[in-house]
Chain A
Amino acid sequence: MAVSLLLMFGQNELAMNASPRSFRAARFFIGPLQLFKERFMTIHRRPALSIFVDRSSQQWVVRDPDGNFWVVPYDDNPWDHRQPFEFTEKIELEPVPGHYKSMLRLPF
């Protein structure tokens, strides 16, 4: 399996050496492949989600794929504890990069 994956991803030179002479060598040479696999095996197009911070209230704000805005607490189960976010005229939402969704433990 490992060898076929290596060949599939064009890493012939690695595949030819996929019978490691030592565990240490195996760890070394599998490394880049693992990154590659991680990437391709985890790509799935996710629904649009936006994260913001509201500095005035010191809260994370999430716009879900349906366009609803929620305040999510920074705790262990934020999505279950979400509350509707109320806009006011003075509020300025600052965009937060999408990769923070995992840190905020959002189920998207």
Chain B
Amino acid sequence: MTVEHERLDEARAQKVPWKKWGPYLSERQWGTVREDYSEGGDAWNYFTHDQARSRAYRWGEDGLAGISDDQQRLCFALALWNGKDPILKERPFGLINSESNHGEDVKEYYFYVDSTPTHSYMKYLYKYPQAAYPYADLVKTSRGRSRNEMEYELLDTGVFEQDRYFDVFVEYAKESPEDVLIQISVHNRGPEAAELVVLPTLWFRNQWSWHGNPARPTLRDVSKDATRQVVEAVDPKLGECFLYCEGEAALLFTENETNTQRIFGVANRSPYVKDSIDSYVVHGQKEAVNPEKIGTKMAALYHLTVKPGACQVVRLRLSEVAPPAVGNDHEGDPFGGQFDQVLQRRGQEADEFYGSVIPKSLNADQANVMRQALAGMLWSKQFYHYDVDKWLEERGSDPFKPVHKAAPRNDRWHHMYNGDVISMPDKWEYPWYAAWDLAFHVLALTLVDPDFGKSQLSLMLRERYMHPNGQIPAYEWNFGDVNPPVHAWSTIFAYRLDKLKQGLGDKDWLKGCFQKLLLNFTWWVNRKDRSGRNVFEGGFLGLDNIGVFDRSAPLPTGGFLEQADGTAWMALFCQNMLEIAAELATTDADYADMALKFAEHFLWIASSMGHLGGETEMWDDEDGFYYDVLRLPDGTARRLKVRSMVGLLPLCAVTTFEGELLKKYPEIGERLNWFLETRPELSAAIHDPTKAGVAGRRLASILDETRLRRVLAKMLDENEFLSEFGIRSLSRYHADHPYVIQAGGQEYRVSYLPAESDTGMFGGNSNWRGPIWMPVNTLIVRALMQYYVYYGNEFTVECPTGSGCQMNLYQVAEEITRRLTSIFLKDADGRRPVYGGTEKFQQDPHWRDCLQFFEYFHGDNGAGLGASHQTGWTGIIARAMHLFATTTAEQALQLGKSAAIVEIEPKAKPAAELAK
């Protein structure tokens, strides 16, 4: 066990608050729904980046490379000024939805280099140009580009030419849970000496302005001499802590309060406002900061001149330890030799920790990818605060008043109170949780911190999150949107993993989740099965523009859709609930009945995909594929024959069972058999659940062997779904054969688009018509493993289709994972497909090993697209890499589902295979 594992254990036992301080500061609080008080709900334009430096936030804070405590009372982040920018660089800049040709996009280069799960060590890199940051150019040029053009990126502006930029590394190392060492290393990569103002900034989140005058926290200068600056931070709830600043730095104090003069045109009550440090540094307004050196926001000003190729270091320490005692050496020096030792030791401990997590069979590049993926997952934690009831009241939309203004969104979610550290999809582009993303995040997070993963799943089921009617909140733009129900799947996975690690399953946790998931399941059944025939709708279901119509809007044809994906998701949900119930039934007979209930419910749902509707069932026997069915008001129906991920998801609704439940409760088996015998039509069009496979396993699957082979033939065809870099969201077939439908005098069309969308559907930032998305690829890999442990080595398919190469399904799963992983790895020419044609990232030694885990990937060349820091669900590549490095086909057959979580001694792979 490594030292970091010991810290995790200490945190689990609730002895030590190792996770109290972490990267919980968002990268964008402006432009969020929470800060939006506009009449029409125009969040992007209501609270802008331009206002952010001057206007106090209501619900959170943001910054560069920042940390905060877990209730975000006190924040620390980096601010920079190159002497040329019109404003301090206090937060990442990006374009809002309407400014960019492909939706919102951060226009900065920053990297999550490292983090341990307790954040005992973290490292971050920000690349800051020495020339003036091209704010206006980015907006103007991007606005002028069409949807058919590439995005205009910061590198395209030329601001990094001649390498005139600083690499600013920020490292955090915890000496103890509440003693955080901070080292900022500034490297000048340019050809000439360059000046940089570094402003480590400490501030309190403004709560005092909004809560009826509660006790106000304070920051004040308590320095004894000019060479060791000390700031005392006192908050009634947080307590007392100190920021130590090495060397001679001017301490600038102001208040984290709105500059009402600038924002509202009304004179300020006090001259010390949120942007006073900006006024002092950028505009030379010396009177802007408080000469009394007291306030709620402060920065230590370091003016550096860095020679070309050189590095300068700024060191600080945020500690609960008061000045006389800090440092633990005889001089009480917070920056004595101990500082460097701790920083170095924590870095080594991080190496040891990842040495135990990353399979030894991975080569250096693979290990780097996996470590940065996990670091990104951990850096993407954020304190998320949103009291919806309060928010509605503050905008005059109090739902309990007889007369109130309509709220643009979320007025039926007034029960919600969120104030927790949550794993975000992307702290700039998506700085709000998304329910189904989160379920995928847990798969990766549990590699390093199973407790955090479990806590995330519990959180969404809490009464402060889940709607009283059982719906799990989707995301703040509309909590009532419907996301795919993958929570139960993630829950049983996290449980099994925990059981394996701890030796005993946390059944209390599993029971708690199960009860809440029952509510959620019932919500689905009662709300999304319009006809009561076990076929489901659900709208866009996370796949945005994948359909020919906006599936969440009234259809232009009238009528409604029976969705292949919605129904498949519910079949999977049933299987997962059955798995949970079966596990609970091993020690509690009450759950055996529930297991049977879900077994039967699965059969109802699975069979509905095959036999309902006669000629218009979802399965198309001619194409060998599943489609959504459009039911028209006149009673007719037709399949919408778009070959997309929608039709692959039925393949993912598959789970094997080892048979423990039936051994322990034979009467359950008898009842299930009776059910199947008296309802032969239910299993007629699906896989026969009574048929034993390898090791006597049973298979719950919508697809029987014939249909499975037919769908796989499409999926593994490189002219259809199989890309060199994974499974596409839409078949390439539609490049030459667009799907077209006429409705209401209008033509609707779906064509294969391997990269960005060419329509404004879903805000123009929806891209499910070709690109490769990691979460659904992971589901496919999981499904193939399930089929493999049931069918075994005898079941082979041609992969790729038409290649003549036969593979069993384990090999197919491994092959897809290899293709997915290759997105990030250097190829034979040393190029990473994820960075496409961006030569700086391909060639430059200071760029080429810095990885970004994008939102989705080009369907033909693997280039990263969309949110550039969506380590969130793309971070599950770490889990996929881990799986195939710690499991063999033989072990999978032997262990069944456990193979996905049991860590076998890493197998040594032949060098030739690694080189692939």
Would you list which residues of chain B between 178 and 197 have a CB under 8 Å from chain A? 178
- Which residues from chain A contact B237 at a C-beta distance below 8 Å? 31, 34
**What separation, in Å, do the CA atoms of A56 and B571 have in the docked complex?**
61
Given A10-B463, A21-B15, A29-B14, CB of A74 within 8 Å of CB of B260? yes
- Which residues from chain B contact A53 at a C-beta distance below 8 Å? 264-266
- Which residues from chain B contact A35 at a C-beta distance below 8 Å? 71, 417, 419
Determine whether the beta carbon of B71 is less than 8 Å from that of A24: no
A90 interfacial contact with B, CB 8 Å:
no
**What separation, in Å, do the CA atoms of A48 and B238 have in the docked complex?**
33
Contact residue among A10, A28, A42 (Cβ-Cβ distance under 8 Å from B70): A28
Determine whether the beta carbon of A39 is less than 8 Å from that of B390: yes
Query: Interface stretch among B127-135, B395-403, B489-497, B555-563?
Result: B395-403
- For residue B419, give the distance in angstroms from its CB to the closest CB of chain A: 4
- Which residues from chain A contact B697 at a C-beta distance below 8 Å? none
Query: Interface stretch among B208-216, B733-741, B767-775?
Result: B208-216
Determine whether the beta carbon of A45 is less than 8 Å from that of B398: yes
A1 interfacial contact with B, CB 8 Å:
no
Contact residue among A28, A59, A103, A105 (Cβ-Cβ distance under 8 Å from B20): A28
Chain B interface residue count, Cβ-Cβ cutoff 8 angstroms? 48
- For residue B809, give the distance in angstroms from its CB to the closest CB of chain A: 40
Would you list which residues of chain A between 77 and 108 have a CB under 8 Å from chain B? 94-100, 102-103, 105
**What separation, in Å, do the CA atoms of A22 and B178 have in the docked complex?**
13
Determine whether the beta carbon of A97 is less than 8 Å from that of B213: no
**What separation, in Å, do the CA atoms of A13 and B260 have in the docked complex?**
44
A69 interfacial contact with B, CB 8 Å:
no
- Which residues from chain A contact B70 at a C-beta distance below 8 Å? 28, 31-32
Contact residue among A21, A96, A98 (Cβ-Cβ distance under 8 Å from B264): A96
B16 interfacial contact with A, CB 8 Å:
yes
B620 interfacial contact with A, CB 8 Å:
no
Given A58-B267, A99-B58, CB of A48 within 8 Å of CB of B396? yes
List the A residue with the shortest CB-CB distance to B178: A24
B389 interfacial contact with A, CB 8 Å:
yes
Given A24-B178, A39-B390, CB of A59 within 8 Å of CB of B266? yes
- Which residues from chain B contact A102 at a C-beta distance below 8 Å? 209-213
Given A45-B401, A98-B396, A99-B394, CB of A27 within 8 Å of CB of B266? no
Determine whether the beta carbon of B417 is less than 8 Å from that of A36: yes
A4 interfacial contact with B, CB 8 Å:
no
Interface string of A6-46 (1 = CB under 8 A from B): 00001000000100011011011101101110110011011
B549 interfacial contact with A, CB 8 Å:
no
Determine whether the beta carbon of B212 is less than 8 Å from that of A36: no
**What separation, in Å, do the CA atoms of A1 and B697 have in the docked complex?**
52
Would you list which residues of chain B between 405 and 445 have a CB under 8 Å from chain A? 417, 419-420
Interface string of B250-277 (1 = CB under 8 A from A): 0000000110100011111100000000
- For residue A47, give the distance in angstroms from its CB to the closest CB of chain B: 9
Given A55-B264, A59-B266, CB of A32 within 8 Å of CB of B396? no
B745 interfacial contact with A, CB 8 Å:
no
Determine whether the beta carbon of B401 is less than 8 Å from that of A103: no
Determine whether the beta carbon of B269 is less than 8 Å from that of A36: no
- For residue B385, give the distance in angstroms from its CB to the closest CB of chain A: 8
- For residue B763, give the distance in angstroms from its CB to the closest CB of chain A: 24
Contact residue among B267, B393, B398 (Cβ-Cβ distance under 8 Å from A74): B267
B137 interfacial contact with A, CB 8 Å:
no
Determine whether the beta carbon of A58 is less than 8 Å from that of B265: yes
Interface string of A58-74 (1 = CB under 8 A from B): 11100000000000001
**What separation, in Å, do the CA atoms of A31 and B209 have in the docked complex?**
20
- Which residues from chain A contact B20 at a C-beta distance below 8 Å? 28
Determine whether the beta carbon of A97 is less than 8 Å from that of B37: yes
Determine whether the beta carbon of A46 is less than 8 Å from that of B210: no
B337 interfacial contact with A, CB 8 Å:
no
Determine whether the beta carbon of B401 is less than 8 Å from that of A39: no
**What separation, in Å, do the CA atoms of A41 and B258 have in the docked complex?**
27
- Which residues from chain B contact A100 at a C-beta distance below 8 Å? 209
- Which residues from chain A contact B601 at a C-beta distance below 8 Å? none
B23 interfacial contact with A, CB 8 Å:
no
Determine whether the beta carbon of A36 is less than 8 Å from that of B419: yes
- Which residues from chain B contact A97 at a C-beta distance below 8 Å? 37, 58, 394-395
Interface string of B33-50 (1 = CB under 8 A from A): 000010100000000000
B845 interfacial contact with A, CB 8 Å:
no
Would you list which residues of chain B between 432 and 474 have a CB under 8 Å from chain A? 462-464
- Which residues from chain B contact A50 at a C-beta distance below 8 Å? 396
**What separation, in Å, do the CA atoms of A17 and B265 have in the docked complex?**
50
**What separation, in Å, do the CA atoms of A48 and B15 have in the docked complex?**
46
Determine whether the beta carbon of A43 is less than 8 Å from that of B210: no
Determine whether the beta carbon of A24 is less than 8 Å from that of B177: yes
Determine whether the beta carbon of A39 is less than 8 Å from that of B387: yes
B17 interfacial contact with A, CB 8 Å:
yes
**What separation, in Å, do the CA atoms of A35 and B211 have in the docked complex?**
12
List the B residue with the shortest CB-CB distance to A59: B266
List the B residue with the shortest CB-CB distance to A38: B211
- Which residues from chain B contact A55 at a C-beta distance below 8 Å? 264-265
- Which residues from chain A contact B464 at a C-beta distance below 8 Å? 36
- Which residues from chain B contact A21 at a C-beta distance below 8 Å? 14-15
- For residue A58, give the distance in angstroms from its CB to the closest CB of chain B: 5
- Which residues from chain A contact B400 at a C-beta distance below 8 Å? 45
Determine whether the beta carbon of B401 is less than 8 Å from that of A48: yes
**What separation, in Å, do the CA atoms of A43 and B398 have in the docked complex?**
12
Would you list which residues of chain B between 134 and 168 have a CB under 8 Å from chain A? none
Determine whether the beta carbon of A27 is less than 8 Å from that of B17: yes
- Which residues from chain B contact A59 at a C-beta distance below 8 Å? 266
List the A residue with the shortest CB-CB distance to B37: A97
- For residue B880, give the distance in angstroms from its CB to the closest CB of chain A: 32
Determine whether the beta carbon of B210 is less than 8 Å from that of A103: yes
**What separation, in Å, do the CA atoms of A48 and B393 have in the docked complex?**
9
- For residue A69, give the distance in angstroms from its CB to the closest CB of chain B: 15
**What separation, in Å, do the CA atoms of A98 and B419 have in the docked complex?**
20
**What separation, in Å, do the CA atoms of A102 and B213 have in the docked complex?**
7
Interface residues of B (CB under 8 A from A): 14-17, 20, 37, 39, 58, 69-71, 177-178, 209-213, 237-239, 257-258, 260, 264-269, 320, 387, 389-390, 393-396, 398, 400-401, 403, 417, 419-420, 462-464
Interface contacts beyond A31-B69, A100-B209: sample of 19 additional A-B pairs, CB < 8 Å, sorted by A: A10-B463, A21-B14, A25-B15, A25-B17, A27-B239, A28-B70, A36-B417, A42-B212, A45-B400, A55-B264, A55-B265, A58-B266, A60-B264, A60-B266, A75-B269, A97-B58, A98-B37, A99-B390, A102-B211
Closest 9 CB pairs of A and B: A98-B394, A28-B17, A97-B37, A103-B209, A99-B210, A55-B265, A35-B419, A53-B264, A99-B394
30 cross-chain CB contacts under 8 A = A10-B463, A21-B15, A24-B16, A24-B320, A28-B20, A32-B70, A32-B71, A32-B420, A36-B464, A38-B211, A45-B393, A45-B400, A48-B398, A48-B403, A53-B264, A53-B265, A58-B265, A74-B260, A74-B266, A74-B268, A96-B264, A97-B58, A97-B394, A97-B395, A98-B37, A99-B209, A99-B210, A100-B209, A102-B212, A103-B257
